[in-house]
Amino acid sequence: MTTDGAAAPSGIAALIRKHPTAWLGSALALVFLLLGTGAIVAGAAIGSGDDDGAAAPTSTGSSPTASAPEEEADAGRAVPAALPGATRLRTCSVAGPAADPRLAAFTGFVMNASTGEVLFSREGEVPNRTGSVLKVLTASAAIAVLGPDYRLSTKVVEGGNPGTVVLVGGGDPTLSAVGSSVYAGAPKIADLAAAAKAAHDAKYPGTPITSVVLDASYWNPADKWDPIWKRTEQTIGYHSEVTALMVDGDRADPTRITSPRSTDPIARAGAAFAAALGGNPKVSVGTASPSTVLAEVQSQPLSSLINFMLLTSDNTLAETLARVVSVKSGFGGSAASLQQAIPEALKGYGVAVDSLIIKDGSGLSEANAVPPEYVARLMVKILAGDQNLSVVYNSLPVAGKTGSLASRFTGANAVARGNVIAKTGWIDTAYTLGGIVKAADGTPLTFAFYAIGDGISDQAKVALDTLTTSVFQCGDNLSNI
């Protein structure tokens, strides 16, 4: 018994009471040991994750326990499955050349053709006027719809009675009224007339051809000039009216690329055919009925026509090819139909066409609108030669060597000669350039640059060359700064 009358403790209680300090130390040691063991086990679980850094799954008991506030916060925190890869820091800037005031309102786009990485963009996704860079789209559409071996035809068929023949245009502007023209290997109207006369005379002996009907209805012959185009293009000699029947691209001088064009290409073709027939037949305009073909001549294959069109930037050839694409695609061949026909033809190359506004086949219209990005992405396909697009690649001018780039990239820019393969463009309100750069470091790049502004100076060409040369020198180190 204790002094206060309580019973004395026995067993473990008595021992604790007798030695309180020793028992307190032992209890604290046990708690520390238990906590340490839990930490080690938890650490082992965290450290046993997969090689990609993901934590190993842990099982939970059937009776969950409440979490501390800190644990609840951690549970809601997103943990990445893997650390992101390192991003390359590119250090070669072309910001200075891109800001050249000679470029006026500049937009552009550059990408690595091998990796698909976008290296540079200044409103590159925004559609804008293209100038003759649009001819690359026309050529690519023609390849898709017609194929590289397609040939344009001009025929002579029987008329409604003996002595009448119908000259039927099939969209070939290269049909030549002379011995030689700017179009190498072009079919001759003299050969067509001789073959037609021989076939007619064989069928109707003693009956001369006294009437020639001109049929240019392959597309509406009245739909021949975009009101946005400047008539100076016609009078100076850059472009003809767009009819399905003409000779020599309607040039006054068939041996010159730039030569004044007439106000009636159909009549000029008819006069040349009548002269070749002889006998002074009456010439009129009409439409052929289904009838016997007396004679036919064909153009060079499409691959050759595209080569000439892109190297020399032939507007007439571009417009007629665009109309033929429309006819063959079932859209009728009108100028308005090109908005459907050309993008539809381009879809098969796998580059989105939703943002394209197509008003013509040559790029002369300021109402055309194509993003520089689209041109660059199509050029990736062209560089690869996908789906016969090698025809387009092999027809593009080469800096300092061929076509409309033969006299460009001079002075300090000469270092890029032979390494820029691109289509040039020029209208009164824009200078453009789009194509491929084989960069100094070996990287294949594709690009499109537009310099846009009312009254823009031809010095924009030099500024475009300088910018493109800077891209050539930067290669894959090109930055978007």
Residue 455: CB atoms within 10 Å: 7
Cα gap 386→390, rounded to integer Å = 7
CB crowding 458-473: b at 16 or more within 10 Å, else e: eebbbbbbbbbbbbbb
135 labelled catalytic: yes
CB within 8 Å of 330: residues ≥ 6 apart: none
Cα(37)–Cα(184) distance, rounded to whole angstroms? 91
Of 181, 259, 304, 313, the catalytic one is: 313
Partner residues linked to 157 by β-bridges: 166, 293
- The token pair that represents 125 in the structure block: 């996704």
In this structure, the chain runs to a length of 481
Return d(Cα 94, Cα 259) in angstroms, integer. Answer: 39
Q: What are the backbone dihedrals phi and psi of residue 422, each rounded to the nearest 5 degrees, phi first? A: -155, 160
| DSSP character at residue 214 | E
Instruction: Write out the E strands in 358-404.
Output: none
**Annotated catalytic residue, options 135, 188, 423, 461:** 135
3-state helix, strand, coil in the chain (%, to 5): 40, 15, 45
β-strand pairing of 211-215 with 282-285: parallel
Q: What is d(CA 23, CA 157) in angstroms, rounded to the nearest whole number?
A: 122
Instruction: Dump the DSSP string for 158-180.
Output: E-SSTTEEEEE--SBTT-BSSS-
Closest among 298, 241, 279 to 165, alpha carbons compared? 279
How do beta strands 293-298 and 153-158 pair? antiparallel
Q: Which residues pair with 251 in a beta bridge?
A: 261
479 classed as catalytic: no
Cα–Cα distances in angstroms (integers) from residue 68 to residues 45, 48, 103, in the given order: 20, 24, 64
Best CA proximity match to 173, nearest among 350, 349, 378, 314 = 314
Q: How many Å is the Cα radius of gyration of the chain?
A: 38
Using an 8 Å Cβ cutoff, are 349 and 144 in contact? yes
Q: Indicate if 176 belongs to the active site.
A: no
Largest CA distance in the chain: 160
Bridge partners (DSSP) of residue 120 are 110
Q: Which residues are catalytic?
A: 132, 135, 313
